[in-house]
Amino acid sequence: MTQPSPSFLKAVFAIARKDLAAEFRSRELLSAMLVFSMLVILIFNFALELDVKVRQSVTAGVLWTTFAFAGTLGLNRSMAVEKDRGCMDGLLLAPVDRSAIFFGKAVSNLAFMLLVEAIVVPLYAMLYNETRIFQWEFIGVLLLGSIGYIAVGTLLSAMSVQTRTRDVLLPILLFPVAVPVLLASVKASGGIVAGLPLEEILTPLNLLIVYDVVFLAVSYMVFDFVVEE
Amino acid sequence: MQQKPIFLTILDVLSIIGLGVATYFALVYAPTEAVMGNVQRVFYFHVGTAWVALVGFVLAAVSGILYLVTKDMKWDRFELAAVEVSTMFFFITIVLGSIWARPAWNTWWTWDPRLTTAAVTELIYIAYFMLRAGIEDPEKRARFGAVYTLLGGISAPITFMVIRLFRTIHPVVIGNASAAAQGGFDMTPNMLTAMFIALGAFTIIFIDLMWHRIRIGALEEKVEHLKLKVSM
On whether any CB of chain B is under 8 Å from the CB of A75, the answer is no
Q: Which residue has the higher pLDDT, A228 or B221?
A: B221
Domain holding A61, by residue range, is 6-227
Q: What is the SS3 assignment for chain A?
A: CCCCCHHHHHHHHHHHHHHHHHHHHHCHHHHHHHHHHHHHHHHHHHHCCCCHHHHHHHHHHHHHHHHHHHHHHHHHHHHHHHHHCCHHHHHHHCCCCHHHHHHHHHHHHHHHHHHHHHHHHHHHHHHHCCHHHCCHHHHHHHHHHHHHHHHHHHHHHHHHCCCCCHHHHHHHHHHHHHHHHHHHHHHHHHHHHCCCCHHHHHHHHHHHHHHHHHHHHHHHHHHHHHHCC
pLDDT of residue B148 exceeding 70, the answer is yes
pLDDT band at B168 (very low <50, low <70, confident <90, very high): low
Q: Which residue has the higher pLDDT, A199 or A158?
A: A158
Q: How distant is the Cα of A165 from the closest Cα of chain B, in angstroms?
A: 6
Q: Closest partner residue to A218 among B131, B143, B154, by Cβ?
A: B154
Cα–Cα distance, A227 to A87 (Å, whole number): 12
Q: What percent of chain A has pLDDT over 70?
A: 97
Do A11 and A96 form a contact (C-beta atoms < 8 A)? yes
Can you say how many angstroms the Cα of residue A172 is from the centroid of all Cα atoms in its chain? 16
What's the total number of domains in chain A?
A: 1
B187 CB burial (10 A radius; 0-12, 13-18, 19+): middle
Domain presence at residue A108: yes
Identity of the residue numbered A78: S
Q: Taking each helix axis from N to C terminus, what angle separates A6-26 and A98-128, rounded to the nearest 10 degrees?
A: 50
Task: Note the pLDDT tens digit of each residue in B67-85.
Answer: 999 999 999 999 999 999 9
Q: What is the DSSP letter of B166?
A: T
Q: What is the DSSP letter of B47?
A: H
Identity of the residue numbered B18: G
- List of residues 6+ apart from B49 with CB closer than 8 A: B89, B90, B92, B93, B96, B202
Q: How distant is the Cα of B148 from the closest Cα of chain A, in angstroms?
A: 8
Cα–Cα distance, A2 to A96 (Å, whole number): 9
Mean pLDDT of A132-153: 91
* A-B C-beta contacts closer than 8 Å: 90
Domain presence at residue A36: yes
Do A160 and A82 form a contact (C-beta atoms < 8 A)? no
Domain presence at residue A191: yes
> Is residue B117 classed as helix, strand or coil in its secondary structure?
helix
CB distance A176–B154 less than 8 Å?
no
The CA-atom distances, in angstroms, between A54 and each of A51, A184, A195, A196, A197 are: 6, 20, 16, 18, 21
CB distance A172–B127 less than 8 Å?
yes
Q: How distant is the Cα of A21 from the closest Cα of chain B, in angstroms?
A: 31
Domain presence at residue A1: no
Q: How distant is the Cα of B128 from the closest Cα of chain A, in angstroms?
A: 8
Cα–Cα distance, B139 to A218 (Å, whole number): 21
Of B75, B158, B161, which to mutate for an interface test with A (greatest number of A Cβ within 10 Å)?
A: B158
pLDDT band at A58 (very low <50, low <70, confident <90, very high): confident
Residues from chain A that touch B124, judged by Cβ atoms under 8 A, are 176-177
pLDDT at A195: 84
> Is residue B37 classed as helix, strand or coil in its secondary structure?
strand
CB distance A210–B158 less than 8 Å?
yes
pLDDT at A176: 93
Residues from chain B that touch A160, judged by Cβ atoms under 8 A, are 131
Residues from chain B that touch A180, judged by Cβ atoms under 8 A, are 155, 158-159, 161-162
pLDDT band at B175 (very low <50, low <70, confident <90, very high): low
- List of residues 6+ apart from A5 with CB closer than 8 A: none
CB distance B162–A204 less than 8 Å?
yes
Task: Note the pLDDT tens digit of each residue in B80-126.
Answer: 999 999 999 999 999 999 999 888 888 888 888 888 889 999 999 99
CB distance B151–A204 less than 8 Å?
no
Cα–Cα distance, B93 to A91 (Å, whole number): 46
Domain presence at residue A123: yes
Return the residue of A nearest to B120 by Cα: A176
On whether any CB of chain B is under 8 Å from the CB of A225, the answer is yes
Which chain B residues touch A if contact means CB-CB below 8 Å?
68, 120-121, 123-124, 127, 130-131, 134-136, 140, 143-144, 146-148, 150-152, 154-155, 158-159, 161-163, 165-166
Q: How distant is the Cα of A22 from the closest Cα of chain B, in angstroms?
A: 29
Task: Note the pLDDT tens digit of each residue in A98-138.
Answer: 889 999 999 999 999 999 999 999 999 888 888 888 888 89
